[in-house]
Every structure is written in C-alpha cells, then in structure tokens.
C-alpha cells in the first residue's frame, strides 16, 4: 500500500483517540472535580453502561456484515457516524447543574450515546476496514503499526493539552466544553480523510461459493476460535493499562505529587510520545522476531519498568524515567494487536469455513469496552470506598485512605495487567501456524471453497 493510504488509515484512530482518549482518562476527573458529581455515581453509570456496551459491538458486527453500499461494508459507517459522534462527545461535558437524580440520568444517556452507540458504530467498522483493504498479513501489520503509531497522537492532542487549555479558558465547566469542541473539529477532519483515502478491495464472496450462515453458527464459530480469546485478552490489557494510567495519574499528580498544573501533561506526553516512537520502530523488528516474540519481550520490559517505579513512588523524575521505559515495552503489542486480529480472521476461516471480519472485530472490541468502561467503574468504586471527596472550586483535603488507594491503583494495576499479557503471549502459537494456514486457504479458494 502507498504511504498516503497507511497514513489515512491511521488518521481514523487518531480521530477516535482525540475524543475517546479524553473520555477514558480525564472524564472521571471532570465529573468529580468540576461537575461535582459523587464518585460513586460516576462508577455506577460506567458499570451499568457495560451491560449495553457489551452487546452493542456484536450487534454492530452483524450490521456491518449485512451492509451493502457503493462504498462497501465498513467504510461508509466512518462517514455516517462522524458528526453524531463528535456532537455526543461535546454533550458529555455539558452536565446541568441540577439535582443528583437528573445528573445521573444525563451522564448515563450521554455516556451511552457517545460510547455504546456512536463510538461502536465507528470503531467496529474502522477495525474491520483493514481486513477489507488487504489479505496480506504483512500489509495488515503495517496498517496496525500506522494505526497504533498515530493513535497516541490523538491522545497527546487531547489529553496532554486539555488541562492547560482548561486553565487558559477559566478552569471551569465551560472551559471543558470549549476544549472538547476544539478536539472534535480535528477529529471530524481526520475521519473524513480516513473515509476518503481507504478503499475496500477484498471480497472473498466473489471468489468462493458462500451461503447465509445462521446467527447461532456464527456465534459458535466465534467463541470456539481460541486465538480470538487470546487477542481479546491482549487488546484488553492495552486498554486496561491506558485507562488505569489515564484515569489515576491526574489524581496521583494532584494529590501525591501536589501538582495538577503540568506534571500530568508531561508524564502523559512522555508515555504517549514514546509509544509513537516505539511503534514506528516495530516494522524493522517484525520481520526478524515476529509479532508474538516481539510483543512478549516488550511485555516483560513493561512489567520490569513499572516494578522499578515502586522503588521511589514519590519522585516525579523517577516516574518520568520509568514511564518512558515502560512505554517502550508496551509499544510492540500496542502496535501489532490489530495485525494479530487479521490473522485470527484467517485462522477462523481455516478452522470453521466461515469468514468473520466484522464479527471478530466487533467481538474483540469488547476488550476496549472492558478496558475503558469497567476499569473506570472499578477505579471509581475503589476511590469511593476509600472515602474520596468530590468537589468543585477550592481544593479539597482528601483522607489518608483515599490517597493510599490512588497510590495502590497506579502502582499495582499496570504490573497486574502486563503480567497477564506475558502469560497470554507465552501460550500464543498462531505465528508459527500462519504460513501453512494461508497456503491451505488459497488452495481452497482456488477451488471455489471457503
């Protein structure tokens, strides 16, 4: 593929992360410290929302599979949902200053519109699009690398710059609305670039005899695909880590480092920037080591780097250094996880004779929803149980139990999730089987068989 096509595809995830990156990181802080919503309410909304969110991805997978338009199956959804998604993101920050019951229903409705409905309707088709652009595992790896090299750019734009922009605009709720409006304009332009430059060229149905597959058979083929579960866990790890760091670090800087002016932006920029650099280095290493081995080595580095942070958790400079090393370890898995999903699709077709691009991406995006929604809900619940005090305006003195909980979540959370990644990657064997799988698939398709 041409460089321009790869960059255009990466623009799609930059756009998603400009909006959703802030939602999965600073939204909890906004709700508690600017809108004055009790942290237990925030946690409850995010936890209940997962009931709806968990099914929306699968449903969207079926919808994409049945979509037929002049632009293809997945690509048109990026265009159709771009404006609703951006407007829904702005509405998240327009919480009315009213009674607690109305606030609960407002954030519940707007949060689900943004994440459960519109984000799903963009992200599932967007992920599926890569498998409809090429069947080459190498090219899918490159699309994944460009996607995950450019995704942190979106988070850098929004997350790193948001707090300084909020302070500049008055450090109040309206300042957040203005900041979010700025970011959504950038996101919209990038979504249009992605839609315009990325074309669907893969159509297996034109080569082989295909029959309508019943829903039950489709679901069975999905849940019996063992590598689907492996990659689901790995994607969940990257998302859970991002949510733990993104959600907890603002509190850590504010209450442990005693600085909410610039430390968070610097730490987040350091990690996100290193992720970009690390992801860009991956193509040179992938040919020699492969996706699994490179990701496994990186996961071990991530665990070791964050374990080193425990040695001096009150030092900003030490936190900066360890987060940079940790990000280098995170980069390989983050860069290739969507390339792995492409391989999972081919494995599923080889095993079950059913090709499930959109359903596999729809099902696997549960990892993203678990990583952002449930993790945010758990963090909010833990802070509430520890006695965290929500407030607006003047700084609040938090109880010692809340400070200890902030530390524990930030210190131990990343070690736990990257430890899970190490175990999962040790058991992951698809890289070795993939060449022979593709040889057999090409022979089948040459004979008109799935």
pLDDT digits (tens, 9 = 90+) for 321-337: 999 999 999 999 999 99
pTM: 0.80
**307 within 8 A of 415, measured Cβ to Cβ:** yes
Q: Which has more confidence, 230 or 218?
A: 230
Among all chains, which residue has been given the structure tokens 């799609």? 12
What is the pLDDT, as a whole number, of residue 207? Answer: 64
**Across 330-353, average pLDDT:** 93
Nearest-Å Rg of the Cα atoms of the chain is 21
> Does residue 346 carry a pLDDT above 80?
yes
- Residue 284 is predicted with a pLDDT of 87
Q: What is the pLDDT of residue 126?
A: 95
Mean pLDDT rounded to a whole number for the chain: 90
The pLDDT score that the predictor gives to residue 395 is 67
Residue 393 has pLDDT above 60, yes or no: no
pLDDT at 375: 86
Q: Convert the pLDDT of each residue in 147-180 to its tens digit.
A: 989 988 888 888 788 988 999 999 999 999 999 9
Residue corresponding to tokens 């920029």: 269
pLDDT at 210: 67
Q: How far apart are CA 16 and CA 12, in angstroms?
A: 6
pLDDT above 60 for 142: yes
In angstroms, the CA 322 to CA 444 distance is: 50
CA distance 443 to 349: 13
How many whole angstroms separate alpha carbon 49 and alpha carbon 32? 18
For 141, list phi and psi in degrees, rounded to 5: -60, -40
What are the tens digits of pLDDT across the range 199-217? 999 877 666 766 778 888 9
Instruction: Select from 220, 203, 215 the least CA-distant residue to 357.
Output: 203
| pLDDT tens figures, 121-131 | 999 999 999 99
Q: What is the pLDDT of residues 226-275, one digit of tens each?
A: 999 999 999 999 989 988 998 899 899 989 998 866 898 899 889 988 99
Which domains does the chain possess? 3-196+214-446 (1.20.1250.20)
Distance CA(382)–CA(409), nearest Å, equals 9
Q: Is the pLDDT higher at 338 or at 25? A: 338
């Amino acid at each position: 593929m041409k460089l321009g096509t790869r960059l255009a595809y990466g623009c799609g995830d930059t756009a998603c992360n400009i909006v959703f990156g802030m939602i999965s990181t600073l939204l909890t802080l906004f709700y508690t410290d600017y809108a004055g919503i009790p942290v237990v309410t925030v946690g409850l909304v995010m936890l209940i929302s997962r009931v709806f969110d968990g099914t929306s991805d699968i449903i969207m997978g079926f919808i994409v599979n049945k979509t037929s338009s002049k632009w293809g199956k997945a690509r048109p959804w990026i265009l159709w949902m771009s404006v609703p998604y951006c407007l829904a993101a702005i509405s998240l920050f327009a919480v009315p200053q009213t009674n607690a019951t109305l606030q609960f229903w407002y954030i519940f409705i707007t949060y689900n519109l943004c994440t459960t409905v519109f984000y799903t309707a963009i992200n599932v088709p967007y992920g599926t699009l890569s498998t409809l652009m090429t069947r080459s595992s190498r090219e899918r790896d490159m699309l994944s690398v460009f996607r995950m090299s450019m995704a942190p750019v979106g988070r850098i734009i929004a997350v790193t710059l948001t707090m300084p922009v909020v302070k500049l605009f008055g450090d109040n709720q309206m300042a957040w609305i203005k900041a979010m409006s700025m970011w959504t304009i950038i996101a919209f332009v990038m979504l249009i670039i992605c839609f315009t430059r990325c074309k669907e060229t893969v159509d297996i149905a034109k080569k082989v005899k295909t029959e309508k597959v019943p829903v039950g058979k489709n679901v069975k083929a999905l849940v019996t695909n063992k590598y689907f579960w492996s990659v689901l866990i790995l994607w969940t790890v990257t998302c859970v880590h991002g949510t733990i760091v993104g959600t907890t670090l603002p509190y850590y800087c504010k209450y442990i480092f005693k600085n909410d002016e610039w430390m968070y932006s610097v730490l987040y920029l350091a990690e996100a920037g290193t992720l970009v650099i690390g992801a860009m280095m991956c193509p040179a290493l992938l040919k020699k080591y492969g996706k699994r081995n490179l990701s496994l080595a990186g996961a071990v580095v991530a665990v070791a780097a964050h374990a080193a942070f425990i040695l001096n958790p009150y030092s900003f400079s030490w936190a900066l250094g360890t987060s940079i090393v940790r990000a280098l370890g995170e980069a390989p898995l983050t860069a290739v996880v969507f390339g792995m999903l492409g391989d999972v699709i081919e494995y599923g077709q080889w095993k079950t004779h059913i090709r499930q691009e959109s359903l596999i991406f729809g099902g696997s995006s549960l990892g993203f929803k678990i990583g952002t929604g449930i993790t945010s809900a758990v963090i909010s619940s833990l802070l509430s149980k520890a006695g965290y005090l929500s407030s607006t305006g003047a700084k609040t003195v938090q109880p010692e139990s809340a400070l200890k909980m902030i530390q524990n979540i930030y210190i131990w959370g990343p070690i736990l999730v990257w430890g899970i990644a190490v175990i999962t990657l040790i058991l992951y064997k698809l890289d070795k089987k993939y060449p022979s799988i593709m040889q057999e698939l090409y022979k089948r398709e040459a004979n008109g068989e799935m």
